[in-house]
Amino acid sequence: MKIYKWLRGLMKASALTTVMFIMQACYGTPRDFGVVEIRISGYVTDKVTGKPLQGIQLDTYHSNYDTDHISGTTDENGYFEVLQWTNSEMVSTLSINVTDSDGNYQPFDTLVSLDSDHTGLKIKLERQPAE
């Protein structure tokens, strides 16, 4: 009788392991649990002329700087798109630093409030004052 109970327990454990293996094979493991992808896109233009600015560097940071920063560059239409990931849904702000590698425009930084998984921005840069 003890052998029967032991064999029955072994069969239950085997069945449970098989079900778990099949579920993992079909649906995967929850490796991305708690990870949120935030997409920030928009345009960078000259504040006076309204013309799009190409080659402007954008760096994004979480407000608490808990992860590596993500960078992006504007295209010929002044458009940019940056994807930022965070381990927590508790991040409510993101810092964005905008710089012109040629030095023609003043650096710009701002905090963005994250209300959804996509934020659209229109950034207008001022030219550096003439020396």
Residue-level pLDDT at 120: 82
| pLDDT values of the chain reduced to their tens digit, one per residue, 131 residues | 778 888 888 888 888 888 777 877 776 655 555 666 778 889 999 999 999 999 999 888 775 555 556 788 999 999 999 887 766 555 667 788 898 888 889 998 888 777 666 778 899 999 888 76
Q: What predicted TM-score, i.e. pTM, was given to this entire model?
A: 0.66
In the Cβ-directed half-sphere of 126, how many Cα atoms lie within 13 Å?
7
The conformational region for residue 50 under phi > 0 = left, psi -120 to 50 = alpha, else beta, is left
Are 57 and 101 within 8 A, CB to CB? yes
Residue-level pLDDT at 33: 57
